[in-house]
Chain A
Amino acid sequence: MASQTKITGFYRPT
């Protein structure tokens, strides 16, 4: 079974 990851790697604006 593969598990779902969440959106990552996007950054919060500074």
Chain B
Amino acid sequence: MFEARLLQGSLLKKVMEALKELLNEAAWDCSDAGIQLQAMDNSHVSLVSLNLRAEGFDKYRCDRNLSMGMNLGSMSKILKCASNEDIITIKAQDNADTVTFVFESPDQDKVSDYEMKLMNLDQEHLGIPETDYACTIRLPSSEFARICRDLSQFGESMVISCTKEGVRFSATGDIGTGNIKLAQSAKVDKEEEAVVIEMQEPVSLTFACRYLNSFTKATSLSKSVQLSMSPEVPLVVEYKIEDIGHVRYYLAPKIED
């Protein structure tokens, strides 16, 4: 028996928004530690890793490990039936071929349940090596979304260059060039509004704007986002999900021919 009840059901709706543009289907792996999902997009350019810890749920029960393959388009349709204020419970029997989503209104006067067919997905989790990144940049998530949107107008690719002075995002295309420089914040009232750079060595890498824009669908999950870069390895874009976990996106860089 698997059962996970989330008081703040809107979080699951936001998680869905953060996944569905990149992934058509994915396995939700449930254990007594929580729920994990790891999947690559169809072109194997990016990888999404989601972790929702058991302690973050109001109620959590997982008698035996199970992997639920879900069509994310279908799951998204179902979660759209939940109100933002609803409490969401995900339930499945052991070895079941369906999963049930239960939505309760806050005052319990409306309860809906939706049963969805599971899929057989033969997915394996890849090990992600521990990496000491040459640069990590924390910035407001809304700022990062804005930068990705603005620079996408100029070209398909964006260069992210990090030095101790700050971080520069640049894109070049037919209409010209756009450059956005962010300096490390000298003084901030709120932690989540800060730009914080930790740098061992300067790094400059090129990434596809299309994927970066997809990652920013997670913006509503967190006020800040962390970018981690090292030469020639995938960029990590991490959004923490309050009190419960994180979603991390890995994006392979573009290289000069």
A residues at B contact (CB < 8 Å)? 1-13
Contact = CB atoms under 8 A, between A and B. Distances in A.
Chain B interface mostly: loop
Contacts of B254: 2-5
Given A4-B252, A5-B252, A10 B257 contact: no
6 smallest CB-CB distances across A and B, nearest first, come from: A2-B254, A10-B126, A5-B252, A11-B127, A6-B44, A2-B206
Contacts, number: 52
Given A2-B256, A4-B252, A5-B253, A10 B157 contact: no
Interface of B: 40, 43-47, 124-129, 157, 206, 208, 233-234, 250, 252-257
A6 B252 contact: yes
A7 B47 contact: yes
Contacts of A1: 257
Nearest to A2: B254
A5 B129 contact: no
